[in-house]
Amino acid sequence: MNKLQWIIFVGLLFMGLFLLASCTKTVDWSPQTCVKDSDCVPTTCCHANESVNKESAPNCTSQFCTSECVPDTLDCGQGNLQCISGKCQITIMKSLNE
């Protein structure tokens, strides 16, 4: 391979890598970003009313929670953790306020 062919080859290689990098979709990994329901965890150790992805989960190893059923939280089976449109959310299925 002569010098001109080598320069053309390297140039095409860099152009191809640039095009590949510019075509890949970037994902904004905010604390609420998810792909599936199992990606989501509660934002707090006790009486959670919001959720985040596993990477943003709180450390609950030494946390003590009361057995109180706080309305509009995950307490007592009121809600579910769900990934809705790529965002971790809690959906309240039954409210204790009613």
Report mean pLDDT in 10-residue bins for the chain, 98 residues. Answer: 79 71 62 94 95 94 92 93 96 76
How many CB atoms neighbour CB 90 within 10 A?
A: 21
Instruction: Tell me what pLDDT residue 89 has.
Output: 96
CA–CA separation, 5 vs 20, rounded Å? Answer: 22
Instruction: Tell me what pLDDT residue 93 has.
Output: 87
Distance from the first to the final alpha carbon of the chain: 80
How many residues in the chain? 98
Instruction: Tell me what pLDDT residue 1 has.
Output: 72
Domain residue extents for the chain: 37-92
The answer to pTM > 0.85 is no
CA–CA separation, 46 vs 91, rounded Å? Answer: 17
Instruction: Tell me what pLDDT residue 28 has.
Output: 60
